[in-house]
Amino acid sequence: MLLDDYKLNLSFTLLIQSSSLSNIHHYNYDQKKLYRLIKFLKDERGLGYRRISHILYDKGFRTIRSNKPILNNYVYSIYKNGKIREERLSRSYESLILNVVCSILI
């Protein structure tokens, strides 16, 4: 028999899970810049939220809505929510291949 006489049917189920399927990049440039600065001062320099608040005030950062100085509790909120967001965006999942069926038709 020749190879042309055979048909090979392959069926399977592929399960894909991802955290990057939706448009979740809602931080604007200033928000990213502020979070990166807070993260650097907290993680790399080991500063507390109150000291970071004073540094941001000296650099001229203000709240968006009320144009007030960024207080330590707001710095904590930016840092905490930014960490949660980073973890959510960097999650990775493994793909699964299930129910593999191969059949040869003559």
How many structural domains is the chain composed of?
1
Residue-number span of the structural domain to which 79 is assigned: 3-19+27-105
**pLDDT, mean over the chain:** 86
| Model confidence band, residue 7 (pLDDT cutoffs 50, 70, 90) | confident
The identity of residue 27, as a single letter, is: Y
Write the pLDDT tens digit of every residue in 55-97: 999 999 998 888 899 999 999 999 999 999 888 888 888 888 8
Q: Are 57 and 70 in contact (CB under 8 A)?
A: yes
Give me the residue label for tokens 């000291």.
51
Q: What is the dihedral of CA 60, 61, 63, 64, to 10 degrees?
A: 100
| Model confidence band, residue 45 (pLDDT cutoffs 50, 70, 90) | very high
The neighbouring-strand residues paired with 13 are: 98
Q: What is the dihedral of CA 58, 64, 70, 73, to 10 degrees?
A: -160
